[in-house]
Structure 1
């Protein structure tokens, strides 16, 4: 009888369990959690806290406080002394987290793409969500550790400073939710940009650019927006004094005066935006040559963004019987116009397929005449609406219709006929100009050029900027040549002096060019179809 002891396998360690759950996260931890890196991260965090404590030690609220000329003075009480440190940390943490997180994620993913290791990650049997989630959780690991060590200090200052625990909870919920959104967007930017292969792998410069944008724009916007909405009742903890809340409504919902409505609105939008970005990430990660978003996704995203933005234009305090309020409505429409311009330029870039995809659609899509594929205008129209390889202008037109229907309803509620007429001119000009840009972009992307994206970007930027500069330099004033300004998509320049002949001439010229470009594009598709037979 064999009495030899039975080998009992060792229990799995936490690293083994973590690796089974997300191998990419384990890869990032092993690659970054080196002893030297960990010592640096911990040392920087502790040094920052020590320096902060030393700085505020000069403001101790003692009776024999020594105030030097130009010094810092003393706090009025111990509670205020602790609250000042809490306030400083509350303002610094978002800047540090967003800056370091965005830089590290963009630099890491872009570097992997440049070296070619990203292709090996793509063929992993794991889902794209698991891989990219491991990137979000693992790449900024050292930043998480450094800021995590500051949280106990922040919590102590909150307790000693009599800061409401509800505010602390809200602060970190909004901080984590926004950070996850920004880091997810950083993944998308790194996957979409492609500049690292074109500029010799200068990934650090690009990562620094995105991080700098987050530092000077996104982080202040995060603090400002939450200060007037989510944390409006806690302004004393952020600014040292109570600040009267700004009246902000969304479809008459008081998101600046109602703390629960504000939290629900902000958290709900964070969830929606994260879901949209991760759907695009799933689509793009394993298929880098596909369009950024599907046509179906674009209809939902643009409609949602339009309803979201338009909700801020509907305010209960706007008294439409006052003539001054009509100017306010036009200002809101101008802001909406600018936002829509950015949205639709992004939509045009996201939905326009490259030349090879169009050729595949011509050969194997609704235009093909094989027995395996039904033919006819209905099938072609279906492909134009839903197929990702089909031309983009029809989908752009549908997006324009979906987004501008609520705007037309809003404009129809105005009581001033003059303001309504001006708004309709702006809307019509925006729709025609967007469709014109979409056709030009699609024609350029169908050309046999080495880098059609660069040509398309340059052409569109030239169409947006150069006409106005040229007309101004040649003294072509909107008062005398309103139709020319309207043709190039500048309706705001003619609103002060509207002439019917200018409207007819400008819109007729735009429609004529749209028809001509459409016929030219159809001709090229037919020629490609004939060559494929």
Structure 2
């Protein structure tokens, strides 16, 4: 069954299969699993300690439990976003620059595989272990959101915003790497993920600040930090459009020689 699945994957996207074979090893998967689980335990343990002297009240206060679950959801969200934006773009830039130095990307360009297929295979395959680590944290993240009182619509919108922001940063990183070739470096694009991360943090902070001054019930203030609004939808659409534009540029750029050699 596994061989049949791999054959189908090879037919649909050979580049993705090559990336998986090069990265998904037993040792790598065990390390990824361990790091993800340890990080989740640290997040839960850290937020549990923050209850401190208020622990006795948690058995009587529903608001205290909701706040605690939201802290876990919030912490997990920002750590996952940090890893996806910075580590993901670092892996993509480093992989494309390494292939340009070795000359292997030139052979891939000569293959009958389309530029869209190759680039999609890299976007999905190069950070595959990072995606696996984040996926292992989704059950805790989702359960914490439900217990914090967030609606399924709000959770879906948070995931959509994370996905579109990462798509934009990854497309930008890929476009940069294809343009600079072997000389591509993560330091050149570092301001972009920094700006995106700060922008999303600012949105969350002012969402909470605004509701604190609008006499919203105290037990709902932290939930309002992630509620969809005009600015939320604006970011979602903007990131999606920018991602599409950069992705089109990457496909066009793929078969051209690097600007910097």
Tell me, yes or no, if structure 1 residue 186 matches structure 2 residue 173. Answer: yes
CA distance in 2, matches of 1:242, 1:11: 45
Report whether the alignment pairs 1:120 with 2:107.
yes
Distance in 1, matches of 2:13 and 2:89, equals 21
Q: TM-score, normalised by structure 2?
A: 0.82
Counterpart pick for 2:33 among 39, 42, 45? 42
1:114 is displaced (CA, Å) by 0.9
1:247 alignment partner in structure 2: none
**Matching of residue 110 in structure 1 with residue 97 in structure 2:** yes
Aligned position for 1:33: 24
Segments of structure 1 that go 5 or more residues without pairing to the other structure are 1-9, 66-74, 197-202, 244-256, 292-452, 455-533
- Does residue 275 of structure 1 match 2:253? no
Q: Does 1:285 align with 2:254?
A: yes
Provide structure 2 residue ranges, at least 5 long, that are not aligned to the other structure. none
Cα 1:104–1:11 shift into 2, 3 Å = closer
Matched residue of 2:112: which SS? coil
Bigger RCO of structures 1 and 2 (CA < 8 A, at least 6 apart): 2
Partner Cα distance (2:108, 2:219) in 1: 45
Residue in structure 1 matching 2:119, options 129, 132, 141: 132
Confirm whether residue 95 of structure 1 aligns to residue 82 of structure 2: yes
Number of matched pairs: 249
1:364-384 Cα shifts (integer Å, max 9, x gaps): xxxxxxxxxxxxxxxxxxxxx
Bigger-Rg structure (1/2) = 1
Distance change >3 Å, CA 233–CA 191, structure 1 → 2: farther
Kept after mapping to 2: 8 A contact 1:103/1:211: no
Q: Could you tell me whether the CA contact under 8 Å between 2:57 and 2:64 is conserved in 1? A: no
Q: Could you give the per-residue CA deviations for residues 353-411 of structure 1, whole angstroms, max 9, x where no partner exists? A: xxxxxxxxxxxxxxxxxxxxxxxxxxxxxxxxxxxxxxxxxxxxxxxxxxxxxxxxxxx
- Measured in 1, the distance between the counterparts of 2:147 and 2:228 equals 27
CA distance in 2 between partners of 1:119 and 1:48 (Å): 39
Distance, in Å, in 1 between the alignment partners of 2:228 and 2:66 is 28
Q: Tell me, what secondary structure is at the counterpart of 1:126?
A: coil
Q: Residue 62 of structure 1: CA displacement?
A: 3.1
Query: Where do residues 449-488 of structure 1 align in structure 2 (5 Å cutoff)?
Result: none
Separation (CA, whole Å) in 2 of partners of 1:172 and 1:114: 36
- RMSD between aligned alpha carbons? 3.4
- Structure (1 or 2) with the greater helix fraction: 2
The two structures have a TM-score, normalised by structure 1, of 0.42
- CA 148–271 in structure 1, closer or farther in 2 if over 3 Å, else same: same
Please give the secondary structure, in 2, of the residue aligned with 1:77.
helix
